[in-house]
Amino acid sequence: MKIRRISAAAAVVAAGALVLGACSGPAGSTIEEDTAVNVGWNEPFRSTNNLTSNGNATTNANILYLMNSFFNYYDGDLKLAKNEDFGKYEVVSEDPFKVKYTINEGVKWSDGTAVDAADLILYWGSQNDQFDTVTGDDVEYGEDGSIDAKDAAAVYFDGSSPAMNLITDFPEIGDDGRSVTLSYTEPRSDWEVSFQASPIAAHALAKLALGIDDPKEGKQAVEDAFKNDDKEALAKLSKSFNNDFNFTKLPAEKEKYLSYGAYVITDYVENQYLTLSANKDYTWGPKPKVESVTIRYTEDPLASVTALQNGEVDLIAPQSSVDVLKTLDGIDGISYTTGDEGTYEHVDLTFNNGGPFDPATYGGDAEKAKLVREAFLKTIPRQEIIEKLIKPLNPDAKTRDSFTVVPGAANYDEVVKNNGSDAWTNVDIDGAKALLAQAGVTTPIDVRFLYGKSNVRRANEFQLISASAAQAGFNVLDNGDDAWGSKLGNGTYDASLFGWQSTNTYALNSEANYITDGLNNFGGYSNEKVDGWYKDMSTNTDADKETELIINIEKQMNDDAFGVNIFQFPGVVAHRDVLKGVSTIALSPTIFWNYWDWEISADDTLEGPTETPAPAES
């Protein structure tokens, strides 16, 4: 099976169709010299390759959004808009379904090399499972996010896309190497947000993996490796693809952080800050007004507020709390807004690690394992968590009761009414005890519980869950870890608490979380019916049919005791008043989506922290 792990702090980006918006803004924007914006964030950047499990995280997506360009993006109204300054795409055949993508002339990487078909081929090939010779069971995951196949000659790209798996033939290259035409084996309803140029350069990968210095030769080598299914070359490319673009401080090799967007990384000090400077050659989209952007890292929300108050940062989106809001209220020259975010909290159970929720623990007795899962989920105090932790921030807060639909969506109430989520509405200790007795298991039952240990709200959630579950005979063990994201999918825990953040508005956005061997299916859940309904959804264009499929999927997941959802994140965005143009959307990349609108008030300046060093040479 494919096993994928994601690392993130407050919210994980749900993969499957990861689309990070491109630039759009007023024509003729110009850089104001010596201007800088400092942004506070809760987790350090770790990879320029967000097509891998380690790279597929919100914190990385933010930086890559500033560094890369895309064929389309979500605007402030969550409408998909094309970025024709970068390139264009068009359906050239309905049967068979074919789409042509063309990158405009003049688009180039920050080293001057053209962005072209090789970078499109790399995206397709690295996300297409047909090239892998081993599965996730044959791969070792390091604590630092590294991935190594046990067989050095194996091909294993740590990335997968259901859409790219529908393109089995090598794409047709045209327009002097600037376009590719993708031929799907069947139509895909979310095709428009399922493809882009690779976030890492094909010629950079060729240099690091194959030792080819010439960019043109390197691009050709990458294309040939996929076209000819050259396992020797692909083994080297996949190992480099999985590991060489992960870093926690500025690498010596510039190939690891090339850009083809508005900004280029120019400095990175481990666990402290990352600085991006304007790409002077960038013309394939409106230019930003600010010359440099520095992201400063701290997990402590109140520390972020203090940094804002002191002028060390100019924009923050910390985890909301009563103390955060109270402190912000007392700061002059600061504006902030609150409201529900696109991220939601949930508890998932692990089905395949030999733990209490795995059928293998009971000699393959799936029904017994299911009874134990149901019993545990009946103890999770969702309403108590809402009352004690969330309502102080949002008096109207309610539990989120859907795995796939955002509260407030047109079909949310219909889905919730029919998806079986009412099984977890209230804590039922007596019911949980009865299920454990029916299963014939001995209590107490150890449950290793993974969460972000330094995250105060999640630590409080853990305490509430642990105390409630203990009443039914569960011994919930504290597996809290600040590096929790790097542990997702490694089998060392039985239940996990974290957040999902959507990247697009399609229901298929959740596919990779729940299908068998899905990129984000960390707990090993597998149900043929769920897989089939997602397959039906992939070609469906009827809204009523989609709701029917969603209900089928969610009812099955609740019947299987997959896990529970808890709440939609109460969000807060705060900024210094001298920073204009701040906005946010409910999809990744949230506060970064319109960075080109950021500007400094004409009658004031932003004073950055005095300890900030000059940007390193680009």
Residue by residue, what is the 3-state secondary structure of 358-404? CHHHHCCCHHHHHHHHHHHHCCCCHHHHHHHHHCCCCCCCCECCCCC
Q: Give pLDDT, residue 22.
A: 26
Copy the structure tokens of residue 310: 């002191």
Average pLDDT, integer, range 557-578: 96
Say how far apart CA 577 and CA 600 lie, in whole Å.
9
Q: Give pLDDT, residue 326.
A: 94
Q: Is residue 71 part of a domain?
A: yes
Q: How far is CA 433 from CA 191, 367, 376, 567, in A?
A: 47, 16, 9, 26
Q: For residues 533 and 504, state if they share a domain.
A: yes
pLDDT category, 201, cuts 50, 70, 90? very high
Mean pLDDT, the chain, whole residue set: 90
Q: Is residue 360 part of a domain?
A: yes
Q: pLDDT for 490-531, tens place per residue?
A: 999 999 999 998 888 888 989 989 999 888 899 999 999 999
Q: Is residue 31 part of a domain?
A: yes
Q: How far is CA 157 from CA 122, 139, 233, 300, in A?
A: 11, 11, 12, 35
Q: Give pLDDT, residue 12.
A: 34
Q: Is residue 58 part of a domain?
A: yes
Q: Is residue 41 part of a domain?
A: yes
Q: For residues 79 and 199, state if they share a domain.
A: yes
Tokens 């070609």 correspond to 539
Q: Give pLDDT, residue 10.
A: 32
Question: Does the pLDDT of residue 165 top 90, yes or no?
Answer: yes
Q: pLDDT for 93-144, tens place per residue?
A: 999 999 999 999 999 999 999 999 999 999 999 999 999 999 888 988 887 7
Q: Is residue 425 part of a domain?
A: yes
Q: Give pLDDT, residue 20.
A: 22
**Count of domains for the chain:** 2
Q: For residues 246 and 365, state if they share a domain.
A: no
Secondary structure of residue 565 in the 3-state scheme: strand
Q: Give pLDDT, residue 219.
A: 98
Instruction: Tell me the one-letter amino acid at 288.
Output: P
Question: Does the pLDDT of residue 364 top 80, yes or no?
Answer: yes
Q: pLDDT for 14-65, tens place per residue?
A: 333 322 222 333 334 578 899 999 999 999 999 999 999 889 888 999 999 9
pLDDT category, 475, cuts 50, 70, 90? very high
CATH code, 560: 3.10.105.10
Question: Does the pLDDT of residue 615 top 70, yes or no?
Answer: no
Contact 246, 240 (CB under 8 A): no
31 or 602: which leads in pLDDT: 31
Q: For residues 282 and 179, state if they share a domain.
A: yes
Question: Does the pLDDT of residue 603 top 50, yes or no?
Answer: yes
Q: pLDDT for 46-56, tens place per residue?
A: 999 999 988 98
Q: Label residue 546 left, alpha or beta by phi (over 0 means left) and psi (-120 to 50 means alpha).
A: alpha
Q: Is residue 326 part of a domain?
A: yes
Q: Give pLDDT, residue 92.
A: 97
Closest CA to 199 of 115, 276, 135, 288: 115
Q: Give the domain extent around 551.
A: 342-569
Q: pLDDT for 339-363, tens place per residue?
A: 888 889 999 999 999 999 999 999 9
Q: For residues 163 and 265, state if they share a domain.
A: yes
Q: Label residue 351 left, alpha or beta by phi (over 0 means left) and psi (-120 to 50 means alpha).
A: alpha
Q: Is residue 10 part of a domain?
A: no
Q: For residues 514 and 607, state if they share a domain.
A: no
Say how far apart CA 582 and CA 320 lie, in whole Å.
18
Q: Check the CA dihedral 589-590-591-593 and report its sign.
A: positive
Q: Check the CA dihedral 522-525-529-530 and report its sign.
A: negative
CATH code, 194: 3.40.190.10
Q: pLDDT for 366-423, tens place per residue?
A: 999 999 999 999 999 999 999 999 999 988 999 999 999 988 888 999 999 999 999 9
Question: Does the pLDDT of residue 617 top 60, yes or no?
Answer: no
Helix, strand, coil abundance in the chain, percent, nearest 5: 30, 20, 50
Q: Give pLDDT, residue 608.
A: 41
